Chain A
């Protein structure tokens, strides 16, 4: 076991967060490369290709063009004045990732990885998906580049995200139901890994979150970090200062790290991640890996996981399929341990209440995932004075969730 790179608060305060992960893909004790031997060389090739491309001016220019003209960046920061007034505390601001093409932050990452895939000469894209947002974002970029696309999705998730399944099919992707294990996101990830290990010569695996083996947590973070870079500049431009608190929902943690990363070295900005507490952490029916899990090894990295005393990963629960995951990106695990970020649980009911509050006060239907961040933003704002600024990552839009919400509330559509 490696020693932690910090032993005291003072040491943690001296960390330059821009310098991680290290060359082994480690964020302190977390991260790494816990995969079968067959994937070690392909991961090394991917790492080398990515490290080269991220300094390649042609690649950067191509990515910037796609983000601007295809994704629709930059996304605005919106001051939710009515909501803030109703809450009666700090001003609530939203980073509007829901306005991106395909309706969520996920496209930031898939546009980037698809460009990497093409430059590596791969002709086939695979992806896993929970809520379907990453699947849609992967199918979108694959078809645009003329690449085949197979998306693995838990059978349970297929049932609760029918609209996104159909969207993927419209985009020409093959959606493969995964019926092993709990039939949700983690099992879809297992199945995608099995596909990759089998077809590694011609296949590029677009992982949808900041988990998995190195270099994925770094690469997916880098592609999503545009969110925080933009937000930081927009805050300085629109408000002349940085926000007091930033918050985002955390499943695997890609939208959260995307917002957080540019602010990690701004020690005056408090950072709070909102995990899915499902029916309540005390019920055991939740997906709050950081708030209620423990360090372990899952899906290629060491991180916080939800498992029993035998080390078996246990079933998680959340109303939002995109947060229903028993692990979390290793960088979040490290941010928790260093104390740079804190992570709290938001229940299904709290997320739903926030969904309705935002819909009625601002005319925005947020994704159920993002509604966890909205709920946390409201909680944070309530306890702060009116002149403080709370920035919430509104990571996706809620069109895909209207059936789930209607069913939950006993309404037949």
Chain B
């Protein structure tokens, strides 16, 4: 069973809301990636999204753009990233790892080659921002190898597409809380609640994670009212980038995530829809 499915099954059984931090692989430094992943798990992460930096991140706001540029300047690439996942797996058999990024690095690496290497390293899912459902035949080799293809749904996604997405989604559906780029501050809860409700009506068993615009414990708790998991990216990446010296990065990660975990756990247990 894919670790993502196991983890969401556990969350559901215990009534907890999933907490999924995103970090850009290689930022603030290549050495910090594996310790950071472990620190995030210690602080309560249920899964980790590892951003694969790309030179042209069209869907990202300035925080993740700059993190990607810093990582690329240090020569971070796919092979290295898969190596970090493998190292993380040596001591953590259970926490799902999702690679998030854009198609071209994988296209150039080769889909089948990437798929087998990613599975061997211990990757569980892949979210490719510029590969919508209509083009998902492109990444079929990834699904064939056992990787979950995580799809996005957005405020502009009409009901017919939503139904198709829920049918094809692997692992969970990632609901983008507003039309915009990552890290913008435009969260308006009521429409997000309504759309997540629509997804739940279509596919009661499919976990829904909400991301974009989740910045802190308060916004995470508000989203936990109706979502199975919250994703926190830009706010964490920015927090880590501003922490120095580098040795303090893992501490900074714990300090950032632990209060959010605590706030989520202080809520009454969720019950299956």
Which residues of A are at the interface with B, using a C-beta cutoff of 8 A?
A: 1-2, 24, 32-42, 180-181, 186-187, 190, 193-194, 197-198, 200-201, 294-300, 302, 305, 307, 309-314
Contacts and interface: CB of A to CB of B under 8 A. Distances in A.
Contacts of B109: 310-311
Contacts, number: 128
Given A180-B65, A313-B104, A24 B134 contact: yes
A186 B55 CA distance: 10
Given A296-B104, A312-B72, A38 B78 contact: no
Which 8 pairs of residues, A with B, have the shortest CB-CB distance? A311-B105, A311-B108, A310-B77, A37-B152, A38-B154, A198-B180, A297-B103, A36-B59
B79 to A, nearest CB: 8
A180 B69 CA distance: 9
A34 B54 CA distance: 15
A294 B154 CA distance: 32
A107 to B, nearest CB: 27
B129 interface: yes
Contacts of A307: 55, 104, 108
Interface in B56-93: 56-62, 65, 69, 72, 77-78
Given A40-B134, A193-B58, A310-B78, A198 B184 contact: yes
Interface stretch (B5-13, B155-163, B222-230): B155-163
Interface of B: 54-62, 65, 69, 72, 77-78, 102-109, 129-135, 137-138, 151-158, 161, 176, 179-181, 184
A297 B179 contact: no
A36 B130 contact: yes
A36 B105 contact: no
B232 to A, nearest CB: 19
A197 B135 CA distance: 19
Nearest to B106: A311
Contacts of A190: 56-58
B181 A311 contact: no
A256 to B, nearest CB: 23
A37 B155 CA distance: 9
Contacts of A200: 156, 179
Given A180-B65, A296-B104, A313-B104, A41 B156 contact: yes
B130 A34 contact: yes
A89 B157 CA distance: 58
A190 B68 CA distance: 14
A298 B102 CA distance: 9
A40 B176 CA distance: 13
27 contacts: A33-B132, A34-B135, A35-B132, A36-B59, A36-B129, A37-B151, A38-B152, A38-B157, A39-B156, A40-B157, A41-B157, A180-B65, A190-B57, A194-B58, A198-B181, A198-B184, A295-B107, A297-B102, A298-B56, A298-B104, A302-B107, A310-B105, A311-B54, A311-B78, A311-B105, A312-B55, A313-B56
Given A1-B138, A311-B109, 4 more contacts: A42-B156, A180-B65, A299-B56, A311-B78
Given A194-B181, A297-B107, A311-B109, A37 B157 contact: yes
A39 B152 CA distance: 11
Nearest to A33: B134
Contact of B135 (A32, A41, A305): A32
Nearest to B179: A38
A181 B55 CA distance: 7
B140 to A, nearest CB: 9
Contacts of B129: 36
A1 to B, nearest CB: 7
B56 A297 contact: no
Nearest to A200: B179
A37 B161 CA distance: 10
B58 A299 contact: yes
Contacts of A299: 56, 58
A255 B60 CA distance: 31
Nearest to A2: B137
Nearest to A187: B56
B168 to A, nearest CB: 12
A42 B107 CA distance: 26
Contacts of B108: 294, 296, 307, 309-311
A181 B155 contact: no
